[in-house]
Amino acid sequence: MSLLRAFIAIEIPNEIKVEIASQTAGLRRAIVHSVRWVAPENIHLTLKFLGEISSTNIDFLAQALKTESGQHAPFEITVGSLGAFPNLRRPRVIWIGLDTPPDLGKLRYNIEAAAARLGYPADDKPFSAHLTIGRVREQISTTEAQSLRNALENTKIGLLGTFAAKFIHLFRSDLQPGKPVYTCLFTTALGG
C-alpha cells in the first residue's frame, strides 16, 4: 500500500491563468524573496485537501466524487480582485478572489461530508473560495514585511474572467524541488 498526497479541486481555464500571471507579474517581480509564488499552471480552486491517502482509496474517493458531483449542476465563477489571509496588513496567503454562487458552497459541503464518511478529517476553517497565488515565507524581516504590505496595497487586480465550472478533479500532489507537480487521478462532470 503506497501513500500519496491528494486534493479535490476545480481547474481554472488556461486563459484565466494567463491573465492572472499577466496582472500579477509586477507584484511577483517586486516581491521575490519573501513569498513562494504558485506557478500559474498550478493555480486551482481547492475544494478539499485530503493530505496523505492510500492508493487503495482512490476508487472509493472517485465513486464518492461521482455521486456528489451528479447532484450539482455546473455553475459560473467570476475571477478578480486581490487579497490575503488573514489580511493585507499581515499576509500569510496571497489570493485572487472569486465570486461564486451558493451552489459552490453546497458542493464543497457535500464533498467535505463524503470525505468524512471515508475517514478524512473535516477542515476546521470556514470555506472561503479563492485561488492561492503565493505563500509568505515564515521568517521575513520587518523591511520585507513592509515592502510586501506596500506592494499588495498598491496592486489593483481587475476582472480576470468568468468561466463555467463543469468538472471536479482528484489530484495527486508530488512535492518536487522548485514547485509541486499535480497529476489528475480522476475527473467527474457536474450534473452527472
Cα distances from 136 to residues 33, 145, 188, in angstroms, run 9, 9, 33
Per DSSP, the three-state class of 73 is coil
Q: Chain-centre distance of CA 147, in angstroms?
A: 25
Reported pTM: 0.93
With cell 451558493, the residue in question is 102
CATH of domain 3-189: 3.90.1140.10
What percentage of the chain carries pLDDT values higher than 90?
83
- Report how far residue 160's alpha carbon sits from residue 158's, in angstroms, rounded to the nearest whole number: 6
The single-letter DSSP state of residue 190 is T
pLDDT digits (tens, 9 = 90+) for 77-113: 999 999 999 988 889 999 999 999 999 999 999 999 9
Mean pLDDT, rounded, of the chain = 93
Please give the single-letter amino acid code of residue 170: L
